């Protein structure tokens, strides 16, 4: 079984992501966001910030003490550092650059899928920011853990 990811951005940003994270380049594909939209994923300011699914998922995450600690101690500081002027080249563009320079890509929602060959076993379209599939359900459908 292989984990394959499709990220938004160009091939150069995908390579930079792999260098920074150690994710294998052969399992990362990049897309300008067109495929995401063609597949029916949500995107834009309204769908990124102003959906009840976003509020619900963030509230759930922030009500969990271990999630708050993880966010406060590792994820948020790393993200803010990487998003700085001399930081990561693969994060979504800053607002100052505008839609024409790729900000729209940073406002694209994603999803999680499990395939066996060309057969779809599981599909989840994120309905808002951080509104991802239940990881245990995804792993069950992938056959990694048992029911």
Interval 11-20: pLDDT, tens: 887 888 888 8
119-125 and 111-116 strand pairing? antiparallel
**Between residues 57 and 25, the one the model is more confident about:** 25
Question: Is the pLDDT score of 7 beyond 60?
Answer: yes
**pLDDT tens-digit series, residues 67-120:** 777 777 766 676 677 666 666 665 655 555 555 555 566 677 888 889 988 999
Give me the pLDDT at residue 130, please: 78
Question: Is the pLDDT score of 34 beyond 80?
Answer: no
Domain borders along the chain are: 5-141
Main-chain phi, psi angles of 3, to 5 degrees: -95, 125
* Helix (H), strand (E) counts: the chain: 8, 4
Distance of CA 66 to the CA centre of its chain: 20
Q: Distance between CA atoms of 80 and 93, rounded to whole angstroms? A: 12
Question: Is the pLDDT score of 35 beyond 70?
Answer: yes
Give me the pLDDT at residue 105, please: 64
Query: What confidence tier does 61 reach under pLDDT thresholds 50, 70, 90?
Result: confident
The three-class DSSP label of residue 147 is coil
Give me the pLDDT at residue 8, please: 75
| Beta-bridge partners for 43 | 108
Continuous segment of H or E residues that includes residue 111? strand 111-116
**Between residues 53 and 124, the one the model is more confident about:** 124
**pLDDT tens-digit series, residues 19-29:** 888 889 999 88
């Amino acid at each position: 079984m292989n984990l394959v990811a499709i990220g938004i951005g160009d091939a150069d940003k995908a390579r930079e992501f792999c260098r920074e994270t150690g994710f294998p380049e052969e399992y990362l594909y990049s897309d300008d966001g067109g495929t995401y939209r063609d597949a029916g994923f949500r995107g834009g300011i309204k769908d990124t910030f102003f959906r009840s699914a976003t509020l619900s998922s963030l509230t759930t995450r922030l009500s969990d003490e271990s999630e708050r600690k993880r966010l406060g101690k590792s994820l948020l500081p790393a993200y803010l550092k990487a998003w700085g002027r001399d930081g990561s080249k693969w994060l979504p563009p800053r607002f100052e650059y505008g839609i024409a320079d790729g900000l729209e890509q940073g406002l694209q929602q994603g999803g999680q899928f499990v395939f066996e060959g060309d057969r779809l076993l599981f599909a989840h379209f994120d309905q808002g920011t951080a509104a991802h599939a239940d990881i245990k359900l995804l792993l069950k459908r992938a056959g990694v853990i048992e029911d």
